[in-house]
């Protein structure tokens, strides 16, 4: 009888506790990658086997009044492009989230306003998405770290109507250099626009860095595109005379030909002497069941006086 009473009391004590869900999701990709003059080491070929395995592990729970709690870790393995060899899989730092209505708060290994913006990245051609309209940007904004501990930071986002507002704060980005960013996005029908601003404080008497970006996107039937323009440089005087300080600009395009194939393209550059220029075209062919053939060919040049190199890849990606 005593055991029955204890079991009944435990049942009532847990009756109002939400049952947590654990979810698994991710993707895998593999193929070949080409990089002209990949390495000065003659033992590394320009063409190597490329691969990635990514598994997201999400634990979710929801209270009786609708507050959602979530935690994520990621297991990931890639190839080492410097050696051409596969790397061991490892877990990254955890991200924790609280979501209620239009408000979301992330803590831990988080992505900031730039890293959470689809308009900033646009369409990225290639199996490895190695081409981007943002190639001229030289600012180190807060990013989600898929293979390491990441920054112990916070991110906020609030959605209201056609607007979404975001902000992040990293209290110790590098040797006490606090880093933060803010963003606003407006979307209506098939058109969207975002303004993003980020700043990293200077330390030991050095100037800080900042970045401001405006990006626009639109979709018209089978065609979609984005454009990006911004400026990065030193603060507070914003003296854009340094090698990588100045205007950055780019665009990306996607066009569906038929029901299964999409052509992609991207171009990015900047006005500074040391900016990186990228351009190229790619494709995605849907095989069904979450699998696709993907590839691209393009060119990258670092600095106005750089020689540039051809980049290409081709392979299969499948989601699970």
Helix (H, G, I), strand (E, B) or coil at 229: strand
Q: What is the pLDDT of residues 73-116, one digit of tens each?
A: 999 999 987 777 888 889 999 999 999 999 999 999 999 999 99
Q: How many other C-beta atoms lie within 10 A of the C-beta of residue 132?
A: 23
* Averaged pLDDT of the chain: 89
CB 279, CB 131: distance < 8 Å: yes
Q: What is the pLDDT of residues 179-196, one digit of tens each?
A: 999 999 999 999 999 999
CB 92, CB 147: distance < 8 Å: yes
Q: 232 pLDDT exceeds 50?
A: yes
Q: Which of 40-49, 123-132, 164-173, 283-292 has the lowest mean pLDDT?
A: 40-49
Residue range 19-319, CATH number:
2.40.160.10
Bridge-partner residues for 298, per DSSP?
280, 311
The CA-CA-CA angle for residues 210, 179, 99, to 5°, reads 120
pLDDT band of residue 9 (cuts 50, 70, 90) is: very low
pLDDT band of residue 18 (cuts 50, 70, 90) is: low
CA distance 140 to 123: 20
DSSP state letters, 43-57: TS-SEEEEEEEEEEE
Q: Which of 134-138, 182-186, 201-205, 309-313 has the lowest mean pLDDT?
A: 201-205
Residue 184's alpha-carbon distances to 119, 140, 179, 194, in angstroms, are 11, 19, 18, 6
CB 124, CB 131: distance < 8 Å: yes
Residue whose token pair is 């569906």: 256
Give the domain ranges of the chain: 19-319
pLDDT value, residue 174: 62
Q: What is the pLDDT of residues 118-158, one digit of tens each?
A: 999 999 999 999 999 999 999 999 999 999 999 999 999 99
Residues in contact with 133: Cβ distance below 8 Å, sequence separation at least 6, in sequence order: 121, 122, 226, 227, 228, 250, 251, 252, 266, 267, 268
Helix (H, G, I), strand (E, B) or coil at 20: coil
CA distance 274 to 305: 9
Q: 5 pLDDT exceeds 50?
A: no
Rg (CA), the chain: 23
């Amino acid at each position: 009888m005593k055991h029955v009473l204890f079991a009944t009391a435990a049942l009532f004590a847990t009756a109002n506790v939400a049952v947590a869900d654990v979810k698994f999701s991710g993707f895998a990709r593999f193929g070949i990658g080409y990089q002209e003059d990949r390495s000065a080491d003659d033992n590394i070929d320009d063409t190597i086997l490329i691969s990635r395995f990514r598994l997201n592990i999400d634990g979710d729970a929801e209270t009786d009044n609708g507050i959602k709690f979530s935690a994520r870790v990621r297991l990931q393995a890639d190839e080492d492009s410097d050696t051409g060899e596969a790397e061991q899989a490892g877990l990254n730092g955890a991200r924790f989230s609280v979501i209620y209505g239009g408000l979301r708060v992330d803590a831990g290994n988080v992505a900031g306003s730039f890293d959470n913006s689809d308009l900033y990245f646009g369409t990225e051609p290639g199996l490895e998405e190695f081409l981007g309209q943002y190639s001229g940007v030289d600012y180190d904004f807060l990013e989600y770290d898929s293979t390491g501990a990441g920054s112990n930071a916070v991110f906020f986002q609030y959605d209201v109507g056609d607007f979404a507002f975001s902000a992040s704060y990293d209290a110790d980005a590098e040797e006490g250099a606090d880093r933060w960013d803010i963003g606003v996005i407006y979307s209506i029908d098939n058109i969207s626009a975002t303004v993003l601003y980020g700043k990293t404080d200077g330390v030991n008497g050095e100037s800080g860095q900042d970045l401001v970006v405006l990006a626009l996107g639109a979709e018209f039937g089978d065609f979609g595109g984005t454009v990006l323009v911004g400026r990065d440089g030193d603060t507070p005087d914003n003296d854009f005379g340094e090698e990588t300080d100045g205007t950055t600009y780019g665009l990306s395009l996607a066009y569906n030909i038929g029901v299964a194939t999409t052509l992609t393209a991207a171009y990015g550059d900047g006005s500074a002497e040391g900016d990186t220029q990228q351009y190229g075209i790619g494709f995605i062919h849907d095989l069904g069941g979450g699998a696709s053939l993907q590839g691209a060919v393009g060119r990258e040049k670092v600095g106005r006086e750089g020689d540039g190199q051809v980049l290409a890849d081709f392979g299969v990606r499948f989601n699970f």
